[in-house]
Chains A and B, each alone.
Chain A
Amino acid sequence: MKTVFVTVGTTSFDELIECVTSEEATQVLSALGYEKLVLQVGRGSVVPDAGSFAGLQVDVFRFKGSIAEDMRDADLVISHAGAGSCLEALGARRPLLVVVNDRLMDNHQLELAKQLHSDSHLLYCTCSTLTQTLRTMDLSVLAPFLPGRPQNFATFLDQALGLH
């Protein structure tokens, strides 16, 4: 089942949940062939009812021990700009659309999302441009995000500390 996974991380992002479940957005998602919408709403106060609308089956939960499975089962991840969520989605090699919360000014988390966007690893929009972005997005332009190399750190340290 073609699935969209929406995640807001450990905080809340009511505006995102509202706009992704709006009639307009759900219609676009249906038209794109998505059949299931899974929402992780965190501490938010907007908690849509599970069920189906506009041909989409909707699942909702607040938190889980691990969202790795939801990431793996998703064909598209829509996430807040949090570093943890972005890295988890990219690590799972899922197409990622980051929705920036423009009400949070000067949020250092944005630094990483912006850089990953300029390196073509993710798409980037705000709540007000979400529907338009979904309608026109081209996921094939996204470049795979290669894992970091902790081995380089280990090798450097071995040498620096005189272990060899």
Chain B
Amino acid sequence: MMAIFWGIISGIVLVLFVFTIRLLVVVRTGSECKPGKKGSVSMLVVGGSGGHTTEVLRLVERLSQAYSPRHYVIADTDIMSEDKIRTLETLKNETYADPKFTIHRIPRSREVRQSWSSSVLTTLNALLFSIPLVFRLKPDVVLCNGPGTCVPLCVAGLFLGALGVKKVLIIYVESICRVENLSLSGKILYRLSDYFFVQWSTLKDKYPRSIYIGRLV
């Protein structure tokens, strides 16, 4: 009886160990991953209320037509973002012949001022929706700037890599609002992102792994 018990425990530990090692390898090998070599880069872009969508769209606006298709993901309670996305995509439509984009909604992982303990539960719920979505879309990169919704989506991207399905690059651009301290999403994704941008030099000093090439938006 005891032998079976210990067998199961050591099995679980072994799986977790291998998975963690895989995860570390996946996180460390981002710079070698060049999805652009095949000519186009599929993107998952995470939007969010409170300025996140406006900010991330300013970045998307400047990306060439090689970044296609673009899959936007927003929280189900977000009423403003979809219009903004459609406006930008209409604009891109005029410039480029065949733009491809989709919009998806997942449950919000964290409301403003939501407590820590309940945030964990709602984030796990959002993760349940994020994993099948990311597995289906299989984007080359995830681009986000810190809305609560981006954490489960990035984690789902890491799963894809750790399971050996596909390396999903995580590109995080901390919001311009953050001058001295990273947002909660930023703190969580600082070590998990392949490219982590900050927009103020004070943050670069505090977080040396980050990339600072001036103000971006």
Chain A interface (Cβ within 8 Å of chain B)?
83-84, 87, 108-109, 111-112, 114-115, 148-154, 156-158, 160-164
Known: A111-B179, A112-B177. A157 touches B215 (CB 8 A): no
Residues of B within 8 A of A150 (CB): 58-59, 61-62, 216-217
B31 within 8 A of A: yes
| Further pairs besides A84-B54, A112-B178, A153-B59: 10, Cβ < 8 Å | A84-B51, A108-B178, A108-B183, A115-B200, A149-B214, A153-B197, A153-B216, A154-B62, A162-B36, A163-B41
A-B contact count (CB 8 A): 81
B41 → chain A, closest Cβ, in Å? 6
**A152 CA / B59 CA spacing, docked (Å):** 10
Which residues between 21 and 41 of chain B lie within 8 Å of chain A, taking CB atoms? 31, 34-37, 41
Complex: chain B residue closest to A65, CB-CB:
B83
- Minimum Cβ distance to chain A for residue B161 (Å): 16
Q: Flag whether B155 is at the interface (Cβ < 8 A).
A: no
Q: Which residue of B lies closest to A115 (CB)?
A: B179
The reply to whether the CB of B106 lies closer than 8 angstroms to some CB of chain A is no
B residues less than 8 Å from A160 (CB atoms): 31, 195
A87 near B63: Cβ-Cβ < 8 Å? no
Interface of chain B, main secondary structure:
loop
Q: Roughly how many angstroms separate A71 CA and B169 CA in the complex, as a whole number?
A: 39
Tell me the interface secondary structure of chain A in the complex: helix
Taking CB atoms and an 8 Å cut-off, the chain B residues in 174-215 that contact chain A are: 175-181, 183, 195, 197, 199-200, 211, 213-215
Q: Bound complex: CA of A150 vs CA of B31, how far in Å? A: 21
Q: Which residues of B contact A151 (CB under 8 A)?
A: 62
User: Of A83, A111, A153, A164, which one neighbours B181 at CB under 8 angstroms?
Assistant: A111
Say whether B171 faces chain A, with CB atoms less than 8 Å apart.
yes
Cβ of B115 within 8 Å of any chain A Cβ, yes or no, is no
Q: Could you tell me which B residues sit within 8 Å of A by CB distance?
A: 31, 34-37, 41, 50-51, 54, 58-59, 61-64, 66, 140-141, 169, 171, 173, 175-181, 183, 195, 197, 199-200, 211, 213-217
Q: Roughly how many angstroms separate A152 CA and B175 CA in the complex, as a whole number?
A: 16
Contact indicator A111/B180 (Cβ below 8 Å):
yes
- Identify the 10 closest CB pairs spanning chains A and B, nearest first: A162-B34, A163-B36, A161-B36, A148-B215, A162-B36, A150-B62, A83-B177, A154-B62, A111-B179, A115-B179
CB distance from B54 to the nearest CB of A (A): 7
Partner of B66, one of A112, A153, A163: A163
The interface residues of chain B lying within 8 Å CB-to-CB of A162 are 34-37
Cβ–Cβ contact B213 & A111, under 8 A: no
Contact of B213 with A156 in the complex, beta carbons under 8 Å: yes
Q: How far is the CA of A3 from the CA of B122 in the complex (A)?
A: 46
Task: Specify the chain A residue showing the minimal Cβ separation from B200.
Answer: A115
**Chain A, residue nearest B31 (CB):** A160
B214 touches A152 (CB 8 A): yes
Contact between chains at A153 and B213 (CB < 8 Å): yes
Which of B31, B64, B181 lies in contact with A163, CB distance below 8 A?
Answer: B64
Bound complex: CA A36 to CA B164 (Å): 63
A114 nearest CB neighbor, chain B only:
B179
Residue of B nearest to A156 (CB): B213
Contact between A87 and B41 (Cβ–Cβ < 8 Å)?
no
* With A153-B216, A161-B41, A162-B36: A148-B180 Cβ-Cβ less than 8 Å: no
